[in-house]
Amino acid sequence: MAKDINLSVEEMEKAGVNFGHKVSRLHPKMKSYVSGVKNSANTFDLEKTKKELEKALAFVSKIVSEGKAIVFVGTKIQLKAIIKDAAEECGVPYVTERWLGGTFTNFETIQKRVNYFKDLEKKRETGGLEKYTKRERLDFDREIAKLKIKFEGVRNMSKLPDAVFIFGLDKDITCAREAKRKGIKIISIVDTNVNPDIVDYMIPANDDAISSVRYIIDKVKETIQNSKPTK
């Protein structure tokens, strides 16, 4: 459970969790989470970050222990790989490529595209595309490759999730807005330059550095793995 997760301010600082954006980019609503300035950039009060991370992990633990669904979203180029790896380890859906508008708000239409992608894959695997010409099969291969990039992470998301964990609110604000409209709880890392109001469980932290996000995602992963209901 989340209460068993060890959070260390010293480790956070070592991972660069405390580094925000330039002072000139500070969002007024993040001011209370800032403790100082270093090299013209705001720095987070890591005691406050720790407190908010504890709240977020407790909520993740609750969601998972109740058998509810959570999805990871993070499309920043430098973060894609670690988010995808963590999601696959935890067995949760993920979006690491461009957020497709309507993924939450037009879920049925997105599901039809996902099912089309899965059907094409199955036909290729079982020889169902052999009746087509070599040129046509090549076109199918290209289409499958494109669909895989878009939908691989959500191929098993058969219903809307109960929560979404966003690793970088500024980049994926459209996802947050859709989640809010559909009543999906939002957990998110929030950097110093972003308005946190849309988020239900915010983690004030550096959302650009791989080391910072890795620290947080490792704690999330540990929480999920510890909270899964036993069969």
DSSP, residue by residue, 89-131: HHT--EE-SPPPTTTTTTHHHHHHHHHHHHHHHHHHHTTTTTT
Residue 230: pLDDT over 90 = no
Residue 54: pLDDT over 90 = yes
| Mean pLDDT score of the chain | 94
pLDDT of residue 4: 66
pLDDT of residue 1: 43
Whole-number Cα distances in Å, 114 to 107, 148, 174, 199? 10, 9, 20, 28
Residue 143 CA to residue 107 CA, distance in Å, equals 21
Q: Are 44 and 34 in contact (CB under 8 A)?
A: yes
Q: Are 103 and 95 in contact (CB under 8 A)?
A: yes
pLDDT of residue 223: 96
pLDDT of residue 2: 46
Residue 133 neighbours by CB distance under 10 Å:
8
> Over the stretch 165-212, which tens digit does the pLDDT of each residue have?
999 999 999 999 999 999 999 999 999 999 999 999 999 999 999 999
Burial of 38 per CB tally in 10 Å (0-12, 13-18, 19+): exposed
pLDDT (mean) for 203-223:
96
Q: Are 104 and 160 in contact (CB under 8 A)?
A: yes
Residue 91 CA to residue 71 CA, distance in Å, equals 10
pLDDT of residue 41: 92
Cα within 13 Å of Cα(102), Cβ side: 10
> Over the stretch 143-170, which tens digit does the pLDDT of each residue have?
999 999 999 999 999 999 999 999 999 9
User: Degrees (nearest 5) of the Cα angle 89, 92, 95?
Assistant: 105
Burial of 69 per CB tally in 10 Å (0-12, 13-18, 19+): middle
Q: Considering the chain, what percentage of its residues have pLDDT values greater than 70?
A: 97
Residue 14: pLDDT over 70 = yes
pLDDT of residue 6: 87
Residue 33 per-residue DSSP state: G
**Where is pLDDT greater, at 146 or 6?**
146
> Over the stretch 70-115, which tens digit does the pLDDT of each residue have?
999 999 999 999 999 999 999 999 999 999 999 999 999 999 999 9
Whole-number Cα distances in Å, 31 to 44, 165, 191, 216? 9, 23, 11, 21
Question: What token pair was written down for 99?
Answer: 């957020």
**Confidence tier at 47 by pLDDT (50, 70, 90):** very high
**Where is pLDDT greater, at 3 or 75?**
75
Q: Are 166 and 105 in contact (CB under 8 A)?
A: no
Residue 183 CA to residue 162 CA, distance in Å, equals 8
pLDDT of residue 229: 81
pLDDT of residue 231: 59
> Over the stretch 114-132, which tens digit does the pLDDT of each residue have?
999 999 999 998 898 988 8
